[in-house]
Amino acid sequence: MRRRQSVKVVFLTRYDRSRASSRVRVYDYLPHLQRMGFQCQVLPFPPKLTSVTKMRYLFQALWFAGWADVVVFQKLVIRKVFVDLLRRVNPRIVFDFDDALWTPPDAFSHDPQVRALYQVQVRYLHHILTQARCVIAGNYYLARYAMQFASSVHVIPSSVDLERYPLKVTWSDEEKVVFGWIGSPENLVDFKSAQEGLRRFFLQFGAKAMLKIVSTSPLSLDGVPVQFERWELDRDVDFLHSFDVGLMPLNDTERSRGRCGFKAIQYMAVGLPVIASPIGAATEIVEHERTGFLPSTAEEWEEALMRLASDKDLRMRLGRAGREKVERLFSIQGNAPKLATILREVASS
């Protein structure tokens, strides 16, 4: 049998491994791709741009483009001139994204300077979507947007490596149920949608439950007891295992509709039930009353919190169903072969 030829891929990532988007969409896939015969290199965008770092990055990117069979831009939206220059070296470009990059994050949506920057970024985004041989979107909402500009669009959801996400085995009793949230500080604004439901719940349930926030900045909510724990790289599973229920509130905005719901996937991967706002990919990931709850109003949030706080068996049952769904649809083990097929097709085009 003829041995399949190795494919060389360079990933031009928006961030290094410390940021979830690049870690989940690229770095976590590398060992799986390498086992399938791929040669992979990663070049993260410089966190601080100076004339020196800009030129160094440009030369490195061009060198890797010449070396590689495929160039993957992961959430990296940069000037047209750079994209066009790189295409001359290697036209086999893939663009991967997991956010509504055409609109600012909710935390900065009212900042006129940020909005002006995003008006420029939209033009760059549309250009790279039209120039890429194919686009990989993190959910169907993003895919539909990309289809306006790209002829080949695939959906690969943000996924977890099951080997690194063991099931939670120790559960809190009803004396102290932990509702947990893990994420970037700019997304703490999402709690606006759930604040009233949380306040009503804790008014009734009191000290028998708590809200735990894992991030790089704390959160304060009136009437809600909050424990803050500072996020650390490679400790996600430790943090997740300290939760009994995972929360993913979302505000109903364009940015939220484009989010890929990775929090919910992480919660479900370790066997936690999820309470999430029914917005965007959350409705594809969380099944109401099977893997969690999808409350829309303060009353529904209060009811969902109360049901899960009061019923350990329900928490475990929904959590097991969530893990099974992650194994079927949201694991790197299942999605790495799909990514490999796309990369091979682009390499041979």
pLDDT tens, position by position, 224-237:
999 999 999 999 99
Supply the CATH classification number for the domain 8-159+332-347: 3.40.50.2000
Q: Do domains 8-159+332-347 and 163-329 have the same CATH topology?
A: yes
- Which of 198, 205, 195, 203 lies closest to 174, judged by CA? 205
- Which of 242, 258, 253 lies closest to 137, judged by CA? 258
Cα(308)–Cα(265) distance, integer angstroms: 18
pTM reported for the whole predicted model: 0.94
**Domain residue ranges of the chain, discontinuous segments joined by +:** 8-159+332-347, 163-329
Helices (H), 260-331: 262-269, 282-285, 298-310, 312-329
Q: Please, which residues have CB within 8 angstroms of residue 13's CB and are 6 or more apart in sequence?
A: 22, 25, 26, 27, 42, 43, 44, 45, 74, 75, 76
CATH class held by domain 163-329: alpha beta
Q: Of all helices (H) and strands (E), which one includes residue 65? A: helix 51-67
Q: Please, which residues have CB within 8 angstroms of residue 3's CB and are 6 or more apart in sequence?
A: none
- On whether the CB atoms of residues 182 and 214 are closer than 8 A, the answer is yes
- Rounded to the nearest 10 degrees, the angle between the axes of helix 80-89 and helix 112-131 is 20
Summarize pLDDT for 110-166 with one digit per residue, the tens. Answer: 899 989 998 999 999 999 999 999 999 999 999 999 999 999 999 999 999 999 999
Report the 3 state secondary structure along 8-54: EEEEEECCCCCCHHHHHHCHHHHHHHHHCCCEEEEEECCCCCCHHHH
Phi and psi (nearest 5°) for 221?
Answer: -130, 125
Summarize pLDDT for 3-59 with one digit per residue, the tens. Answer: 567 999 999 999 999 999 999 999 999 999 999 999 999 999 998 889 899 999 999
Cα(189)–Cα(253) distance, integer angstroms: 12
